[in-house]
Homo-oligomer: A and B are copies of this chain.
Amino acid sequence: MLKPDWIAVDWGTSNMRAWAMSASGTVLDEVRSDRGMGSLKPAEFEQALRDAIAPWDHKGAPMIACGMVGAKQGWMEAPYAAVPCAATPEGFTKPDAGDLDVYIIAGLKQADPADVMRGEETQIAGFLSMNKNWDGVICLPGTHTKWAHISADEVVSFQTYMTGDLFAAISGNTVLKHSVNSDDWDNDAFDGGVADAMARPERLAARLFSLRAEGLLNGMQNGTAKARLSGLLIGAELAGAKPYWLGQQVAVIGAGGLCSLYVRALAAQSAPATQVKGDAITLAGLTAAFKRLKG
C-alpha cells in the first residue's frame, strides 16, 4: 500500500483532488472526487476525505487543503489573512478529524475596497514558488476573476471582478438568452466588444440591449453576439482594472479558453501578458504551504 509523506488537497465547490506526495515534493499518486464543498454538510467532509484517500496508508501524513473547504459553508471556517501579506500566510485551521492530520490554508481579505479570496491565494503562492523574486500583477480568470498586485513575495492588494458570474447570469437569465445561445465564436466581435467597453464602459447596459436589437434589426448571429457580450464584459473589467495592469508585468494563470481571451484583450491594449497553465500551480502552492507548516 502506497504510503505518502504528506497529502495535498485541492477542495473546491464542485470537485476535490488529492495527491499522495513524497517529502521531496514528488507526486506518487492522485485521486479525484466529485464530492465538492457544495454537496457536503460540514460533518460529511471527514468521511469524504477518508473515502478519497482510502487507497493510501495515510497514517501520520499531514494533509494540506486549500479552497472552499475552508469557507463558512465548508468543513471548518478558516480565517482570512489581511493583505499585505504572504500568499501563504502563517496559521492553519485544524478541523477535528480523528487520526486525520488536516490543515486548511487561510484565505486572504482586504479591508478597503472590501474583498476576499479563498483558493486563488494558493495558486498565487504556487506561481511565486516557481518564479522566485517575481514582481508584477497576477490575473486569475474565472467566475470571479482576481487581480493581485505582487511585490517582494507579498500580495499587496487585490480586486475581484465577477465578470464570469455576470456572463453566465446575462446569458441565461435576461432577454439576451435567445440572442447568445450558440457554440459559434467570432474573434472580431470579441475584439470590438473589448474596444467599445474600454472606450465607454459606462454604456455597458445599453450595449448589452443593443445585442438584442442587432439580432432583430440586422440579423446578428448568436455566435457573434455571444463573442461581443464576452468582449464587452472583459473590456469593462480591463477598464476598471487598468490601475492593476498598466505598465506592469502581467501573468494570467489558468488553463483554457477564458485565459486566452484575457491575454488577447490585454494584448489589444499593448499590455503583453504571459499565460501560465494552472495545472501544476495549485499543487506547487500546496507544496509551499507544506514547507511553511514544517519549517
Q: A residues bordering B, Cβ < 8 Å?
A: 72, 80, 109-111, 113-116, 143-144, 159-163, 165-166, 168-170, 172-176, 200-210, 212-214, 216-218, 233, 236-237, 239-242
B113, B205, B233: the one within 8 Å of A237 (CB): B205
Q: Are B236 and A205 in contact (CB under 8 A)?
A: yes
Integer count of this chain's copies in the complex = 2
How near does chain B come to A292, taking the closest CB pair, in angstroms? 24
Q: Are A209 and B144 in contact (CB under 8 A)?
A: yes
B160, B169, B176, B206: the one within 8 Å of A209 (CB): B160
Which residues in B have their C-beta under 8 angstroms from that of A110? 213
* Residue contacts A-B, CB under 8 angstroms, 9 given: A109-B213, A113-B206, A114-B214, A115-B213, A162-B176, A166-B205, A202-B236, A205-B237, A205-B240
Dominant SS at the A interface? Answer: helix
Nearest CB in chain B to that of A117: its residue = B213
Residue of A163, A176, A217 contacting most chain B CB atoms (<10 Å): A217
CA distance A144 to B110 in the complex (A): 35
CA distance A117 to B204 in the complex (A): 18
How near does chain B come to A231, taking the closest CB pair, in angstroms? 14
Q: Are A162 and B175 in contact (CB under 8 A)?
A: yes
Q: Are A240 and B173 in contact (CB under 8 A)?
A: no
Q: Are B240 and A206 in contact (CB under 8 A)?
A: yes
CA distance A175 to B144 in the complex (A): 9
Q: Are B114 and A240 in contact (CB under 8 A)?
A: no
Q: Are B169 and A216 in contact (CB under 8 A)?
A: no
Top 5 A-B pairs, shortest CB-CB distance: A201-B202, A202-B239, A114-B213, A161-B205, A202-B240
Query: Given A144-B175, A175-B165, A205-B162, does the pair A115, B210 have CB atoms closer than 8 Å?
Result: yes
Which residues in B have their C-beta under 8 angstroms from that of A210? 113-115, 160
How near does chain B come to A14, taking the closest CB pair, in angstroms? 14
CA distance A110 to B210 in the complex (A): 10
Q: Are B162 and A169 in contact (CB under 8 A)?
A: no
B161, B165, B168, B213: the one within 8 Å of A116 (CB): B213
CA distance A17 to B204 in the complex (A): 34
